[in-house]
Amino acid sequence: MSGPRPSRGALSEVRLWFAPDRLRAEGRTPDYRFSLANERTFLAWLRTAMALVGGGFAVDQFLTDTTRPLRIALALVLLAGGALCALRAINHWIRCERAMRRGEDLPSSRFPVVLGLAVGVVALGMVLVVAFGWGV
């Protein structure tokens, strides 16, 4: 185990998104199975992001019996969640790949819990809207 990694600027991190080959300069190449597992996790996050975006559009198109402000608010929360999820997927993939190359522990993240809570709250809100006709 190694100590904390040196701090990198946010701009440097985002640049790495577009040049993942620069990761090869760090550490050793990990077992390809771990890199492929990291990629599968990345793709799962992208599927989640696409589902949130699709849900946002569905809310806007199909909850027509609710007031427009409520429908737009629910749709925007889902759409924003999808965008955040996609961006976080990229960031997490890079961070995990870097940690594997350096032989460090994989980075932890609170994002899955935050995303799960947000989706649960929005889903509960939609259940109330649909079941009780709130916002009509």
pLDDT recorded at residue 83: 96
pLDDT recorded at residue 18: 83
- What are the structure tokens assigned to 110, written together? 């609170």
User: pTM of this prediction?
Assistant: 0.79
pLDDT recorded at residue 130: 79
Q: Where are the beta strands (DSSP E) in the chain?
A: none
Q: State the Cα–Cα distance between residues 93 and 108, nearest whole angstrom.
A: 12
Contact 33, 91 (CB under 8 A): no
pLDDT recorded at residue 136: 61
Contact 34, 100 (CB under 8 A): yes
* Domain ranges across the chain: 29-132
Q: Which residues of the chain, if any, have pLDDT below 50?
A: 1-4, 6
